Structure 1
């Protein structure tokens, strides 16, 4: 793989929207806007909300509307608007710019004709994305990092802003370090069949699924040691996510008869079936309250969710003739990559990033030239639980990988072919065996 090319001169995760420096911008949902902007995007002054001249008012903002300031009383996903004072224009959008919330939606794209791949990072605010896709923004603030002669697949964004991915063409796992702009490569020759990657933000450990080998693997954040935490004889592990506050690992396994969602401790122990449903659950993600997944049924794909205990299963979206590859969630919306090619009348191919509301029927599409695959959101405002002292002690002493069997209790686990040495607290190679040994540092 050749060195990456960066198509912007600003830092990937510190970029600020051009509108952030504007005197009047919206922080958070536009339905909460309480500023004094009172002119539409086309320059027409707004009508007061508490009068019916020249237009009858059918929506009134929660503040009573004793003014003519732009508002969003009906939660329009395209932002603030107002009734106008022009007889010929009942209402129009104000298009007040959104302040940057330091969240980034990041996905991988494969450009088959060029034989190259890229990351794209852009503000994750759904209103900003919809305004951009509708041509309502003056500037596209996306950021691209391009890799020649590559095909990037799975994607995870760490709490520190680095991007973990696998390149199925060059058969390695890469870590793009945003501060230096450099990429480190790991697991050369062993990454082609990795399907999904996730990271525990507390310990820094990385987990990934390999449907070809039928395993779920765990690694330290520098990929010095890898251990198997789940193996099945018949199924194919696919989606995977860590629940940081619950200290649990969740992954999906697809069998001939359907899919199961499993939950386990972070060392792979105490595996239980959380859900048995769906035909082919290929991707998982989670927010602070729910687990979300893609179920590819063949004739259609569904986007579903459930509580952490498996209860209250909800269908959020369903569509036929799609190829949803990955899923991410942020704020009130769900983000999906769709790798199904669509052609216009000129024969040009387009792919989609689909964005749907968690609790309402809002949805919109961003059309892209390259085929998208992995997708994730970096939310700089999200609090990360601090590691327990026992886990920190384990990470300091262990030369293997520290996994949690119980909350906060770090266990040094040695990879296959090594055993734990009590005296050196290190994993030493064992001649003539491929057994994986583990030992709690407290014993």
Structure 2
């Protein structure tokens, strides 16, 4: 057992856990004041539910021995209830229990990402039901495809082993997966009341919260990507460096697009650009050089800045730009591995620019679009089934007045409270 690597994985797990409030604040600040608690509740609620599912059968379905050796789904019974996880394996580099906890947060955050696309208009109970079904039918198989490596007497997923595509920390399993699911949910739910092509139904109510959330996500992402190395090593160090580098250039890329297109860079653009860079570098952080990370981040930030405007052109109400950032950013980062990868990086594979030919790019494309198609199709069926049975959308009155009060009987800000000892207001003058 490597105590240094174990300490790094414990710290990385804590860093990824900090991304939960980071995401809640990032999303919460972007919605109207009347919806911020619901946004936070959907984020934390999905994390709580997925954490429970992960213990019962989620980990086993993702990382158990592939059923029939097909690389589609892990054996649900192998680690059912996490049986055997607490045993000390003297041959292991890190304890299995810390890996289980680390990956549980990946699953939980992937589901939580989806809620940003459908803010202000979905029932909380319907969201929780959707989360449980979606994780079971979509995330667990895809995680097996991408994250489950072959081992001694163990068969893993088809994308990472048979196809040989590179996805260091979840560009396909996390970002393309959640972004495609978000698009399917948007199409089933429909637009928010008052949504118009010149802007969303409501502007962000608290941009400092958005920036704070983005900062917490950036901080936690060092554990998200760096922890995926699974060791305290040079590979983890390179990944952390690339994660920092790409995020910086992506923010500048997004702001440049805003300046050229709109005449001014914005706070929301800076926060969104940082997240776009983090998304784009996630699959490629172990495959590119620092200069490659700079280029990849700049492209990812600029492409995502342009992509968020597509919702106005095509008329789909992606409330907080989950499709524009996570789907488009995930595809961009995954495909650019095939171009910018260098064998000097931890993954040890050359892309097109380093003489590797088109082979890796083809593998990256197959992996990316297989996940996109599967996630979108199955999510659309889940959403349709739930809409026909329990109903997904809140009543128009609740949407108009605010889902915080109607769904949770709470309000984020008490703007009308008067202290008991406050002097009575002066009467208005006559006339």
Greater relative contact order (CA < 8 Å, ≥ 6 in sequence) = 2
Given the two structures, how large is their TM-score scaled by the length of structure 1?
A: 0.28
Higher strand share: 1
Higher helix share: 2
Given the two structures, how large is their TM-score scaled by the length of structure 2?
A: 0.28
